[in-house]
Amino acid sequence: MTVPETPAVPAHFTMSEDEIIAKFPNRLRGYDLFRKMGSPKHVVAPMVDQSELAWRILSRRYDADLCYTPMFHARLFHQDKKYRDEQWQTNEDERPVIVQFCANDPDVLLKAASYVVGQADAVDLNLGCPQHIARRGHYGSYLMEDWDLISQLIRKLHENLDIPVTAKIRVYPEVEKTVEYAKMVEAAGAQIITVHGRLREQKGHKTGLADWAKIKAVKDAVKVPVFANGNILYYEDIQRCIDATGVEGVMSAETNLYNPALFSGKILPSWQLAEEYLEICKTVSTKSSYIRAHLFKLFRYSLPIHTDLRQQLVVAREVEEFSLVVAELKTRLIEEAATTTPPFDADNVQVDEFGYRKYPHWICQPALRFEHDKQHSKSKRLLNECQTSEQVEQTSEQTEQTSKQVENNSNETTEDSDTKRQKVATA
């Protein structure tokens, strides 16, 4: 294990903590910030093109206590007003909210962050994005080899921004290095640290379980509030995570996208949440690509059955067009639910042999992916059906250059099992 050496007081620390407090006497720090935001336990993660205002409004209706914006590119946010106006939406009722940026230039980050002062509770630095575009742009988790730059980015905001700075990190293979990394982020000025308990390499098909033990180690080592990210499939997992790690709050990324009612503990039909989301979109300007991606996720397990409606979602552009598709799908799903034997009982949900809950396809539920040996032909067919659906909603790299019909989640996480048939779920 190699931990980068840093001087006792880095050269870019141009002010002491006492001087910073004197400069910003009313700016909240650590637990004061946490309490001012209502001591949030349920946190919606920053998700590229997916945690937009309309979705944040929906999530708050189902007990999300704190929402992060999508990750914004600091340079574009500062230089391009059109980008800034398209990406950054809020309203007077949307608090608390934290705005997340990716960056690799401290001065540019400060200029970008200055635009949201007065409209956000804090600014977060993305240090976790594992995607190839982050490697090309040298930001997110690809700064993990450059602790000095990370410290400079955080310190620039800590010494100069009127609102607090927070950070979202990933872990290293070694718990000791992970702890030292988090302590460096804290020393630079981060007032809340979110720990995604996966390595940078754990993404896509290589994603596995998040390491709650490393999250606990960070929580035990730092003096600021910590949020945990990873392995949240069901409502009960939230308290399990808190009990295991001691964190103040739990952040959900992809599970929130498939089940925005996650934090409420309610078991709801997909069409109900889709209709509610579309009603919000009638009052909040929302890109059609965002709407389409959300509907594909909400109806993930129904669209492989109703393939004709899947294609209609692909070509829809206006909220009214999406609403027509959802209305037709709702009619079909209600008919299916009425004729299902035995009827689904939300108070008596069965589990499969591996402990995963057996919901009918019209119920909002976490995304489960399947890996198994050749003997599990039934599961293999189910995998193929889900993959067919994803070919429409997710095309990874090529979608960056085309329609943005992307299931592009920079904080994608998954859960696996040690069985031959491995169900992988993202949280």
Element (H, E) at 321: helix 319-339
Whole-Å CA distances, 313 to 291, 304, 307: 10, 13, 10
> Is residue 97 helix, strand or coil?
strand
Encode burial over 166-197: b for 16+ CB neighbours within 10 A, e otherwise.
Answer: bbbbbbbeebebbbbbbebbbbbbbbbbbbbb
CA torsion through residues 193, 199, 201, 204, sign = negative
Smallest CA-to-CA distance from 127 within 154, 97, 99, 102 is with: 102
Smallest CA-to-CA distance from 67 within 106, 23, 33, 37 is with: 37
CA distance 299 to 283: 23
Q: Residue 156: how many CA atoms within 13 Å on its side-chain side?
A: 20
Which segments within 337-380 are labelled E, that is strand? 368-371
Please give the DSSP secondary-structure letter assigned to residue 104: S
Told to judge if 281 belongs to the known catalytic residues of this protein, a careful annotator would answer no
Scan for tokens 């080899």, then name that residue: 145
Angle, vertex CA 71, rays to CA 276 and CA 97, nearest 5: 60
How would DSSP label each residue in 136-194? HHT-GGGGTT-HHHHHHHHHHHHHH-SS-EEEEEE--SSHHHHHHHHHHHHHHT-SSEE
Smallest CA-to-CA distance from 49 within 291, 243, 270 is with: 291
Query: Do the beta carbons of residue 262 and residue 232 sit within 8 Å?
Result: yes
For the record, the structure tokens of 182 come out as 């988090």
Query: Do the beta carbons of residue 285 and residue 89 sit within 8 Å?
Result: yes
Scan for tokens 């620039």, then name that residue: 156
Among the listed residues 67, 102, 129, 241, the single catalytic one is 129
Catalytic residues: 129
